Amino acid sequence: MRDMQNVFHLAIPCKDLDEAYHFYVTQLGCKLARRYNDRITLDFFGDQIVCHLSTQIDETPKMYPRHFGITFRDKREFDNLLSLARQREMRFFQEPMTRFERKVEEHRAFFLIDPSNNLLEFKYYLDERMMY
Amino acid sequence: MRDMQNVFHLAIPCKDLDEAYHFYVTQLGCKLARRYNDRITLDFFGDQIVCHLSTQIDETPKMYPRHFGITFRDKREFDNLLSLARQREMRFFQEPMTRFERKVEEHRAFFLIDPSNNLLEFKYYLDERMMY
Amino acid sequence: MRDMQNVFHLAIPCKDLDEAYHFYVTQLGCKLARRYNDRITLDFFGDQIVCHLSTQIDETPKMYPRHFGITFRDKREFDNLLSLARQREMRFFQEPMTRFERKVEEHRAFFLIDPSNNLLEFKYYLDERMMY
Amino acid sequence: MRDMQNVFHLAIPCKDLDEAYHFYVTQLGCKLARRYNDRITLDFFGDQIVCHLSTQIDETPKMYPRHFGITFRDKREFDNLLSLARQREMRFFQEPMTRFERKVEEHRAFFLIDPSNNLLEFKYYLDERMMY
Amino acid sequence: MRDMQNVFHLAIPCKDLDEAYHFYVTQLGCKLARRYNDRITLDFFGDQIVCHLSTQIDETPKMYPRHFGITFRDKREFDNLLSLARQREMRFFQEPMTRFERKVEEHRAFFLIDPSNNLLEFKYYLDERMMY
Amino acid sequence: MRDMQNVFHLAIPCKDLDEAYHFYVTQLGCKLARRYNDRITLDFFGDQIVCHLSTQIDETPKMYPRHFGITFRDKREFDNLLSLARQREMRFFQEPMTRFERKVEEHRAFFLIDPSNNLLEFKYYLDERMMY
Amino acid sequence: MRDMQNVFHLAIPCKDLDEAYHFYVTQLGCKLARRYNDRITLDFFGDQIVCHLSTQIDETPKMYPRHFGITFRDKREFDNLLSLARQREMRFFQEPMTRFERKVEEHRAFFLIDPSNNLLEFKYYLDERMMY
Amino acid sequence: MRDMQNVFHLAIPCKDLDEAYHFYVTQLGCKLARRYNDRITLDFFGDQIVCHLSTQIDETPKMYPRHFGITFRDKREFDNLLSLARQREMRFFQEPMTRFERKVEEHRAFFLIDPSNNLLEFKYYLDERMMY
């Protein structure tokens, strides 16, 4: 388990702050913490994402080696998020799938893609010890 | 505050798994969760980092727009980590500095750089509400 | 102690959503959860404030009987907030004061006023049992 | 999530302290913390409500822009409270309803009205991330 | 450590409910949960005390074998309570004392007596493992 | 909710320490913390009971005004304890019963009696807010 | 309940560090904290195991008097671990069994054996109070 | 951090149950959970130790490869325990010492020895991340 009071932070490139706001706050339901001219900071499921205005956009995003997201302990949270992404017609980079089926590492996962081509992966493991 | 039981995960490129192991486990004191042929997974201060073997190494890393790390709630944890980085002669991309001095957002920060040129930032804010 | 997972919510009148956003998010450091045409919802120190567009603005606000805010358990949080209000030149309805001095109920308090004349009171009690 | 140790406080007008005591303590099951000549303070689901004797009673209460209450994380707590309000024949300002049906924001809610015409709203969201 | 969610309850005799209310709520700062004709129930430092109207009052109370109270983990809470008892001129059955001085079991303690001659003991141990 | 780190303590009379040990530790599954010549101290469901050797034994114990016990938040814990009392053929002073049926205060309860005629009541409320 | 922040540590003999790494990390899913020439340290379900290179290997291991392991509060964790051990074809010293059936102490347990003949026992009790 | 609700258990040999009781309960301040003819079970700082009657006593105990104990997060707990061991004149196998001085792994430690020659080590690390 992790410390409740610390925060993981991740800085990512963003080609347009309004687009990022729309994707992360209006659609994904994250909270806006601060807005500056060159970036917005977000409370992303309790951790922090900073979207920096940048021209370094990945034009051909692939699943590896870069993506980020949340592994949920509780399946209900995973399902709720999937349902939100469906209802709000967010863009899936990868539809929900099961990986390592019938293995200890079995988990459900799907990928979203933000307007600046950053990939977000959300997961749920049957055996919580495999979250790491 | 974030949920103790969920885990933030971040996948990053890595040119050599042994180097990554040395940097993250032996030096930085993270825990190795799993090792595969093409990646290692780490318990990074309670969240998860996955180092994927990749040729997409950033040859000219800059502070923005990509970096990641932990914002500590407790100054002691920040100081302990800085002391560890000094003692183990880790490579600083940016020496410790104070940003936004005398402002609400005032914080201490330093950057490390891993063997695959990923940048890690660790922070401590005087006012914990500014962590996001 | 209260349950971490529940949320207190308070709906208040607001004559201008941008003003409310400026006061609560940009200045006070709360997080914006959602924005609609007629209201914004805020993560206010972990609880929820909803600012509803309304013409029912109190033109002659008084300390009683209506105000709201947070009573902090930790003096540091109270002091940090006071310092934030000073630095960002927020409008005080009541400067910091000590009430019930030398009594069991002794506490420090100050009042801010938002652009729609809602009053916010922040407090810190020497004896935490007096928080209720 | 919010800090367990801090307390949200809300001061509201009240035309009669005994009536308020009856409504909040005897019926709603809140705890009385302190009683003064001009107010009572209550432990309201872990936060604090202060009922101040006042003549500023809203004679034509409407749902917006002013109301307050608790959003429960656990449906059982919401159902228990609804059942209590029924059994004790409390006055509903709004019968239980579902809002935003089939949307991410879907939630159940009902409104009670206290003897001084203050409105209390209690809610339960299917997706806990929508609580803010 | 004990479970936060369970409650220890203790029923004690009481010769007059108003006196008990005055002692436990007005003076000691406990919260009134419920009042019936023959008893009051109290949130006593998070546990429950029920004062039952009774004629079984102990006319010659002694420290042993019957008393109850709280052992605090944090010295500040003990000191705050002692200070409250002094300021509100509560009746001490035993002034603060140190027991088992220089031994592992060393602790500070004082006894109050309620209007129905029930004895309350509050303690603080230097070594928290001795709390049991 | 109560503080996990504080401990409620209750001192009760006991006519024989070995009998008390048998009842509380061997049968009821409490833990023995310390044994002195004139008393034993117990970790009783996370709180502390001290059994003092005494001649003040209540020869005609009645349910009121004196008894003590635990109100469980989780029905499973209540059922487990009832099952333990049955299996180990402990002496019931009052068989399990439902009180305040169909009322908000509805709860299940049973009473045990220890070898020194102290009465223990264990409860479970349908609505956890009624625990106080 | 135990303190989350403390760690139980156990040092055990090990005839080969790579074997121990394979058993504890690759198979059992524990995390490697540190590796030295003469030992490895492991995050074993949140506690610490240190495998010391040693020639003191027990050639005829028996269930008593030496073994160690985790007693789970949540049956799901016990079942997940059992499933992991099956899938990864770990060596059972004792197949899953029920002990003290129909008694208060009823629990499920199984034993694994590590490459250095240390015995690991994992348990789940129907009544959590019997975990000690 | 570890899960509060799980329990680490360790079974060790013991040549005499009364001696073990004296060492672990009377001197070390652990709690006795259960006593059988052939073993006692203990709440050892929140985890479980079982002392099994056995003839497999180690006549020439050495620090490695077998010992067990607690690593404390809070220095005060370490100091309290050391003070207890001194006052109660427990037998030290190794006086308090500092290991890895001026290194990241710097910690304080001492060893006790129980009547059956089992070694107990208690530790405190300056940098809590080194506890594993």
Q: Which residue of G has its CA nearest to H15?
A: G65
Report strand pairing: A92-99 vs B7-14: unpaired
CA gap D71, D119 in Å, rounded: 14
Q: What is the pLDDT confidence band of residue D95, given thresholds at 50, 70 and 90? A: very high
Residues F64-78: tens digit of each pLDDT: 999 999 999 999 999
Neighbours of B64 (CB within 10 A): 16
Hey, which residues 1-60 in chain D have their CB within 8 Å of chain B?
1-3
- In single-letter form, the type of residue at position F10 comes to L
Q: What letter does residue F131 receive in the DSSP assignment?
A: G
Q: What letter does residue D91 receive in the DSSP assignment?
A: P
Q: Which of D80, D127, D132 to mutate to test the interface with C (most CBs of C within 10 A)?
A: D132
pLDDT, mean over chain C: 97
CA gap H120, C71 in Å, rounded: 45
Instruction: Report residues of chain G scoring pLDDT below 70.
Output: none
**What pLDDT score was predicted for residue G100?**
94
Q: Which of A4, A29, A87 sits opposite D129 (nearest CB)?
A: A29
Closest approach of B77 to chain H, Cα-based (Å): 8
CA gap B112, B92 in Å, rounded: 4
8 Å CB contact of F32 and H43? no
Hey, which residues 61-80 in chain G have their CB within 8 Å of chain F?
none
CA gap E53, E75 in Å, rounded: 34
Q: What are the backbone dihedrals phi and psi of residue E105, each rounded to the nearest 5 degrees, phi first?
A: -85, 10
In total, chain D counts a number of residues equal to 132
Residues in Cβ contact with F14 at an 8 Å cutoff, skipping those fewer than 6 apart: E65, F20, F39, F40, F51, F52, F53, F54, F114, F115, F116, F118
Q: What is the mean pLDDT of each run of 10 residues along chain E (132 residues)?
A: 95 98 98 97 98 97 97 97 98 97 96 98 97 96
Residues in Cβ contact with G45 at an 8 Å cutoff, skipping those fewer than 6 apart: G30, G70, H2, H3, H6, H8
Q: Classify the phi-psi angles of H35: left when phi > 0, otherwise alpha if psi is within -120 to 50, otherwise beta.
A: beta
Q: At residue A9, does pLDDT exceed 90?
A: yes
Q: Which of D24, D27, D1, D26 is nearest to D12 (CA)?
A: D24
Residue with token string 């671990």: G81
CA gap F26, F31 in Å, rounded: 9
Diameter of chain B measured on Cα atoms? 49
Q: Which residue of H has its CA nearest to A1?
A: H1
8 Å CB contact of A2 and B4? yes
Residues A23-76: tens digit of each pLDDT: 999 999 999 999 999 999 999 999 999 999 999 999 999 999 999 999 999 999
Collect all residues of chain C within an 8 Å Cβ-Cβ radius of residue B104. 29, 83-84, 87-88
**Cα F61 from chain centre:** 15
Q: Which of E1, E102, E127 sits opposite H84 (nearest CB)?
A: E127
**Helices and strands, number each (H, E), in chain C:** 2, 8
**What pLDDT score was predicted for residue D1?**
87
| The two three-digit tokens of residue D37, written as one number | 């000549």
Q: At residue F59, does pLDDT exceed 90?
A: yes
Query: Which residues share a beta bridge with H47?
Result: H44
Q: What is the pLDDT confidence band of residue D54, given thresholds at 50, 70 and 90? A: very high
Question: Within an 8 Å CB–CB cutoff, is residue G103 touching chain A?
Answer: no
Write the CA distances from B100 to A6, B68, B103, B109, B125, integer angstroms. 20, 19, 5, 11, 10
**Cα D39 from chain centre:** 18
pTM for the model stands at 0.96
Collect all residues of chain G within an 8 Å Cβ-Cβ radius of residue F29. 104, 129-130
Q: Cβ distance B52 to B12 under 8 Å?
A: yes
Q: Which of H4, H29, H88 sits opposite E129 (nearest CB)?
A: H29
- In single-letter form, the type of residue at position B84 comes to L
Q: Which of D1, D2, D3 sits opposite B3 (nearest CB)?
A: D1
8 Å CB contact of C127 and E46? no
Collect all residues of chain A within an 8 Å Cβ-Cβ radius of residue D130. 29
Collect all residues of chain F within an 8 Å Cβ-Cβ radius of residue G126. 80
- In single-letter form, the type of residue at position F117 comes to N
pLDDT, mean over chain D: 97
Residue with token string 């101040």: D52
Q: Cβ distance D127 to D104 under 8 Å?
A: yes
List subunits contacting chain E, requiring 3 or more Cβ pairs under 8 Å: C, D, F, G, H
Q: Cβ distance H51 to H12 under 8 Å?
A: yes
**What pLDDT score was predicted for residue G5?**
94
Q: How many CA atoms lie within 13 A of G75 on its CB side?
A: 5
8 Å CB contact of C127 and E80? yes
**Cα H58 from chain centre:** 16
Give me the tens of pLDDT residue by residue for chain B, a chain 132 residues long.
Answer: 899 999 999 999 999 999 999 999 999 999 999 999 999 999 999 999 999 999 999 999 999 999 999 999 999 999 999 999 999 999 999 999 999 999 999 999 999 999 999 999 999 999 999 999
Residues A76-130: tens digit of each pLDDT: 999 999 999 999 999 999 999 999 999 999 999 999 999 999 999 999 999 999 9
| The two three-digit tokens of residue D98, written as one number | 């579902």
| The two three-digit tokens of residue E25, written as one number | 């709520």
- In single-letter form, the type of residue at position B44 comes to F
Burial bucket for residue E60 (CB in 10 Å: 0-12, 13-18, 19+)? exposed
**What pLDDT score was predicted for residue H1?**
87
In total, chain E counts a number of residues equal to 132
